[in-house]
Structure 1
Amino acid sequence: MTTGTARAQGAAVERLVPGDPRLSFDGIAGWDRGSGARLPLRMPVDRLATAMSANFSRLARTTAGVRFAVRTDAAALELEVDLDPGGSPLDIRVDGILAHRWTGGPGRHRVAFPLPVTDGTPADVEVWLPHLAVTRIGAVTLRGHRQLLAAERTGRRLLVHGSSLTHCMYAAGPSETWPALVAAEHGWRLRNLGFAGEAYLDPVVARAIRDTPADLIALELGINAYIRGAFTARSWGPAVCGFLDTVRDGHPDTPVVVLTPLSSPDRERAVNSTGLTLEGARSLTAEAVRVLQRLGDRHLHLLDGLTVAPVAEAGELYADGLHPTAEGEHVLADRIGTELASIPPGPEAVPASEGDTPG
């Protein structure tokens, strides 16, 4: 909905609010429809309480992978945002090139960004919201434009889920996480369901993935369960199978890739509180995938975390022995993206207009 239009020197000033179809949001399931600024939600929140974790409920509201785009020849863009917490960057890309990276503190902000001068040809202006913050959007104002259109959303729909390694704690910005880089490289549409420290095969997450239209699903599993001692050698494999079975209920033919834990040198043979090593958790994750493959799942694929991030390269890839550096995100994107791109598409999925355009 357009709330105001003015003309200055033959060009417009328009203030758009969330819900305006020209603000082409992607990576979201819907909106928190509270009063004032609105929160884009990357998964439904009505059943978050079933995870019985306040931290998970908070992380599920962060805006990892959430972005909006317009096609315009505007001279400037102004945002009204509310951040909780602060310190996580916001990116603006123009025709795929990073034009601005801004970091704000907690609370409300109104910030303006000049856009590159054009010859009057509209450009795709995409705003990536902070991936580690709960980000509410008040309004988006475009200035000095003659054209303002919704950006087209095409390409294969990539859904990723995992731990902080998928939430991407040390990425330089939200458009430079490995999932965002993979999606950009291949022209795919991203939905990021990474939850730092909270990837425990929760049924509410499995159902969210089941119910989300996707053409390719990548699941990074195992590191949180190992570090926190959440499962035993007896319970982990069956839990992985059950999680994948739930996903399959909604995606019977969609390619699903399970990424086993990346290397972590100090943890490889360290025994956790339930008697598992990281090597053991990785082996059990792989075996769960092989069990389902033997039972007939022809669209389930295994990606060994040690091939993505070998032990020998951990010192170069990681900031702290576990989480990739900003540069490491690009290495992971190259390696994971190559593997994902090699997987043939499944049968035609639900068209985008029928399942993933949130209101």
Structure 2
Amino acid sequence: MTAGTGTGSGPDSGAHCAPSAAVERLVPGDPRLSFDGIAGWDRGGGTWLPLRMPVDRLATAMSANFSRLARTTAGIRFAVRTDARSLELEVEMAADPGGSPLDVRVDGVLTHRWTGGPGRHRIAFPLPGTDGGAAEVEVWLPHLGVTRIAAVTLRGHRHVCAAERTGRRLLVHGSSLTHCMYAAGPSETWPASVAAEHGWRLRNLGFAGEAYLDPLVARTIRDAPADLIVLELGINAYLRGAFTARSWGPAVCGFLETVRDGHRGTPVVVLTPLAAPEREQAVNAAGLTLEDARTMTADAVRVLQRLGDRDLHLLDGLAVVPVADAARLYADGLHPTAEGEQVLAKRIGAHLGSIVPSA
């Protein structure tokens, strides 16, 4: 299987538009599909895997689990403007690491949610009538699975155009709290909901259980287009005892400074760990409590702020999910429920909206 190349986020206008036949089968690389949230393609076996980060340097993370998660399609979607009566997808779902629903939205409204198991699938979705006009049809790929695409077929249409991609670019990175394990669907994670509310373009670099300040991730964010960057840091490092009191703060500073090398003047928001009542005072293998990890993360941000980084912002995780709210928002003491995702979206989105005005 060979790695392809790509610009990463689809076209920025609806320039790709032309009258079409009543039935048309498009390969994923067709610019009219207007993929967003991607870094390129992995092609092979007649299918295309949209990549949310480059895979040529994954070996430097030295983690098979991270390499697997890097191929999941969190935040990846494509959109067309069309008057088609139906949309058909030919996809291949991997058995590992797992799956989640696939969402179809029409003019921003969730129209279909499909959940399928591993293997090859051909799925047809009827589209609502548009009274002769075109609607924006957006397909969100499963955020917890690896989804390869063979083709997208439109039927009963006169026109198909690339969707416009003109909003500000929101890039998020973090743990399973950003990968969003219990979201109802890929278009209803907190990052997706925040982006939809503000008209922003999402790129999700959340890696469940694998947010360890990897240099590979810092360089990927450094090199990626972004108008606003949100980094949810600390919970994985605390849970695994991966850093000591001596090493965590400097590692956070180094990660942030690498990101800043490619984003002078870009607002960067560091979200410290959300409340986890059973873990707040629990001492991990490195001798730290979750409170310690939260405090040290905030201290690292303040060091860089004092050194002159005026575009670096701190968002206290306890302001997003206080200890008193955890029981009603979490599914398992750590991860938000589907309803909890929307509470996070509202609270985090309000903070981000005050930093970067909606375009």
Q: 1:213-252 deviations in whole A, cap 9, x for unaligned?
A: 1000000000000000000011000000000000001001
Secondary structure of the structure 1 residue equivalent to 2:194? helix
Secondary structure of the structure 2 residue equivalent to 1:64? coil
TM norm structure 2: 0.92
The equivalent position to 1:283 in structure 2, one of 295, 301, 306, is: 295
The equivalent position to 2:36 in structure 1, one of 23, 26, 30, is: 26
Q: 1:329-359 deviations in whole A, cap 9, x for unaligned?
A: 00000000000010047xxxxxxxxxxxxxx
Identity %: 84
1:222 aligned residue: 234
Secondary structure of the structure 2 residue equivalent to 1:233? coil
Residue type of the alignment partner of 1:39: L
The equivalent position to 2:334 in structure 1, one of 302, 322, 343, is: 322
Separation in 1 of the partners of 2:238 and 2:263?
27
How big is the shift at 1:269? 0.4
Residues 344 and 184 (structure 1), Cα distance of their counterparts in 2 relative to 1, 3 Å cut? closer
How big is the shift at 1:11? 6.2
Separation in 2 of the partners of 1:157 and 1:57?
24
Separation in 1 of the partners of 2:130 and 2:312?
46
How big is the shift at 1:36? 1.1
How big is the shift at 1:34? 2.3
Task: Report how many aligned residue pairs link the two structures.
Answer: 336
Unaligned regions of 5+ residues in structure 1, if any? 1-9, 346-359
Residue type of the alignment partner of 1:51: A
1:350 aligned residue: none
2:71 aligned residue: 61
TM norm structure 1: 0.92
The equivalent position to 1:166 in structure 2, one of 178, 189, 207, is: 178
Separation in 2 of the partners of 1:344 and 1:292?
20
Judge which range, 11-20 or 330-339, deviates more. Answer: 11-20
Separation in 2 of the partners of 1:69 and 1:118?
16
How big is the shift at 1:87? 3.7
Give matches, 1:194-205, under 5 Å.
Answer: 194-205=206-217
Matched, 1:293 2:305: yes
Compute the RMSD of aligned alpha carbons: 1.0
1:189 aligned residue: 201
Separation in 1 of the partners of 2:215 and 2:349?
27
Judge which range, 81-90 or 300-309, deviates more. Answer: 81-90
Residues 46 and 87 (structure 1), Cα distance of their counterparts in 2 relative to 1, 3 Å cut? closer
Unaligned regions of 5+ residues in structure 2, if any? 1-19
How big is the shift at 1:35? 3.4
Separation in 1 of the partners of 2:206 and 2:99?
19
Matched, 1:115 2:115: no
Residue type of the alignment partner of 2:93: L
2:255 aligned residue: 243
1:354 aligned residue: none
Secondary structure of the structure 2 residue equivalent to 1:130? coil
2:220 aligned residue: 208
